[in-house]
Structure 1
Amino acid sequence: MASFNIKKRTLKDGSLRFTVDVIVKKDARIIHRESKTFRKKELARTYGLKRLNELETEGVKKLKSVPISVLLDIYMGERDLWDKSGRTKQYVIKLLRDCDIAKVESNQLRTSDLIQHCKNRKAAGAKPATINHDVAYLRSVMKKAKPVFNIDANFSIFEEAVPVLNDMGLIGKSQKRTRRPTSEELDLLREALRKRQSFRPNGPTRIPYLDILEFSILTCMRIGEVCTILWDDLDEKNKTVLVRDRKDPRKKEGNHMIVPLLGESFDIAMRQDKRNAYIFPYNPRSVSAGFQRARNELGIEDLRYHDLRREGASRLFEKGYSIEEVAQVTGHKNLNILWQVYTQLYPSKLHEKSAP
């Protein structure tokens, strides 16, 4: 006999979620259980009724179970999923493939298995924010096991496990990063990068590290965005550029945005070689690697290329731009994230604004 019930859950932001649990019993014993979460109660109820009808007319279809390692291999082989996974997700999934948790059957994963995995990772030196990626990406793979691969996976266990892992301090969000390069560090980096592009040319594709460094700060762009700007996307009259597929957690592709080229960023772009379709036709990994080598040689600690984005946004705020205006440059849709994560103002700069 099949039945379902709906549970209401309130998230930290106050929004509601409704989880419908569908259960099939035989001789008072549960032989099948599944669950799915919705934003609206009516959607959960509609799904519950639909599944009841399917289970009563078609019966319980036995899905195969496989070790999680096999499921991960199958996921990596599905190009439509794997090719759209980010670099971090791909790295984590490959790492999980070699962990003890990969030996567990996909339909027998328990909260205790996840706890042990997180403890193992913690013992190896991983931080809660890093371990959180393990749990999130494993959850993502197992969620697709049934609809994509017809594999039985205990996906619903994460509803129980995640709050427990949070309470135990095994997983958590990354700490707010506040690092900005000092003016002295930037001067040293400029000199080191100047020597790198002068004395270590890469043949005909020598990388103009200095121009890219300044352009990255002035435009608040990610290095991946800088290296994919086309000349055709540059509007010389309005001094703007179309940045394609800007990162947005709600939309993977098609998030195009017109960005103003403020300060000297327009001049920097215009003096680049126009023989290529791209303004900066370089591999972003090569650019960031050159930056990292220069940083390491100088002994500058805890500075990442992405911190230049925070530097650029903070400068705009210090110059008096409003948060809405800065968002037009950085591309943030969530102004709270822009203010909390990408802004670190120097208190001493306030004196400049009050000076006559």
Structure 2
Amino acid sequence: MASITPSYDREGEHIGWKASVRRRGFPPQYQTFRTRKEAEAWAVVIESEMTRGVWRDRSESEGTTLAECMDRYLLEVVPTKKGGRREVDYVNQWKARPIAHLYMSSVRGKDVAAAMRDMEAEGKGANTIRLHLALLSHLFKVARTEWGMEAISNPVESVRKPRLPQGRDRRLVGDEECRLLAACQSVNPELAAIVRFAIETAMRQGEIMGLAWDAVNLAQRTVTLNETKNGTKRVVPLSAAACKVLSELPRRIDGKVWAYGQEGVKYAFPAACRRAGIKDLRFHDLRHEATSRLFEKGLNLMQVAAITGHKTLQMLKRYTHLRAEDLARMLDRARP
């Protein structure tokens, strides 16, 4: 039977109501509430679950805050995930929000929705918010399956996710490629080589900048990527132009292909675009450009996916922006 008793602090002040549920075959359950009505409602739920055989121990989730779970997630889970450095920042941002002070058992969809509104007010984009939500959702999944919090539900599942904007369709137009390469050449010849290589291979910026000579086989015209964004090894075929870029580079003592690092390109590429008078072009747009060119060369879906490393048609479509005039020429070539 459940019992509801008043709860007092050390000075004898009434601070709430303590609900106790004792039933044979189950550990005693205790919880303190501000009002007697809340205590009675909680006791009814616990007794009903015990009667129906669906009760789960809530003591772990009712005594652990989201912030404490974030710390544990940072220690146990993040180091095992690819891209963990970025998730460290996500964890710290979650810990700074009001929701972090709630106990795991009390986090509800409305709390997550409030955090989403705060993120929108801070100027975060839809995709960034979805990445934050993905981390929170995975934390609740781990808490349920590995940390003894089977009774909690995942509050992320009950909120509406922000709609992703339509994928960028920015491609090089007119003489932009020539202007861009000329500007890169004036900044640093290696920067121009990096841009040419990106346009020829459709590789990600991180894959290009992390390239080492032991992954390059100019005889077979391939680059082997053992570490990729999706965790799958990929062998990228090299066009004659891509091979020419690499063959003209000096060999470095440290084994790296480029003297530039990611941070260097992060600042040098926008500077080259400004010098060339090119607006709204990001380095990642070169991957879109290269992927689209592969289709325009006549490669089929599976061939392009094998080169770019996209695992789903949906993602490949977001990276492909075919020009109508190029498709028209392909139709003419296809005529019998």
Range into which the TM-score falls when normalised by the shorter chain: 0.7 to 0.9
Q: In the TM superposition, what is the alpha-carbon distance from 1:293 to its structure 2 partner?
A: 2.7
Q: In the TM superposition, what is the alpha-carbon distance from 1:312 to its structure 2 partner?
A: 0.5
Structure 2 counterpart of 1:201: none
Structure 2 counterpart of 1:257: 234
Q: In the TM superposition, what is the alpha-carbon distance from 1:311 to its structure 2 partner?
A: 0.3
Please say which of residues 329-338 and 257-266 is displaced more in the overlay.
329-338
Q: Secondary structure at the residue paired with 1:178?
A: coil
Structure 1 segments of 4 or more deviating over 4 A? 24-28, 146-153, 296-299
Aligned length: 288
Larger radius of gyration: 2
* Match status 1:237 vs 2:224: no
User: Aligned-pair RMSD on alpha carbons?
Assistant: 3.2
**Percent of counterpart pairs with the same letter?**
27
Q: In the TM superposition, what is the alpha-carbon distance from 1:105 to its structure 2 partner?
A: 2.0
Matched to 1:224, the amino acid is G
Matched to 2:60, the amino acid is L
Structure 2 counterpart of 1:30: 46
Paired with 1:344 and 1:312, the residues of 2 have a C-alpha distance of 10
* Equivalent residue in structure 2 for 1:272, among 249, 257, 275: 249
Unmatched 5+ stretches in structure 2: 1-25, 30-42
Structure 1 counterpart of 2:176: 185
* Equivalent residue in structure 2 for 1:84, among 76, 81, 86: 81
Matched to 1:245, the amino acid is E
CA deviations 1:27-63 (Å, max 9, x no partner) are 8532798xxxxxxxxxxxxxxxxx98xx8xxx94731
Q: Secondary structure at the residue paired with 1:279?
A: coil
Q: In the TM superposition, what is the alpha-carbon distance from 1:336 to its structure 2 partner?
A: 4.2
Is this contact kept in 1: 2:78–2:88, CA < 8 A? no
Superposition pairs of residues 30-49 of structure 1, within 5 angstroms: 30=46
Q: TM-score, normalised by structure 1?
A: 0.70
* Match status 1:307 vs 2:305: no
* Equivalent residue in structure 1 for 2:193, among 204, 211, 216: 211
CA deviations 1:304-348 (Å, max 9, x no partner) are 21110110111121122222222232122324432x111101122
Unmatched 5+ stretches in structure 1: 1-23, 34-50, 199-207
Paired with 2:328 and 2:125, the residues of 1 have a C-alpha distance of 39
* Match status 1:158 vs 2:136: no
Paired with 2:313 and 2:98, the residues of 1 have a C-alpha distance of 41
* Match status 1:173 vs 2:164: yes
Is this contact kept in 2: 1:68–1:104, CA < 8 A? yes
* C-alpha distance 174-109 of structure 1, shift in aligned 2 (>3 A): same
CA deviations 1:73-104 (Å, max 9, x no partner) are 333344x5246352443332222222222222
Q: Secondary structure at the residue paired with 1:258?
A: strand
* Equivalent residue in structure 1 for 2:262, among 284, 293, 298: 284
Structure 2 counterpart of 1:20: none
Paired with 1:89 and 1:331, the residues of 2 have a C-alpha distance of 23
Structure 2 counterpart of 1:46: none
Q: Secondary structure at the residue paired with 2:105?
A: coil
Structure 1 counterpart of 2:120: 122
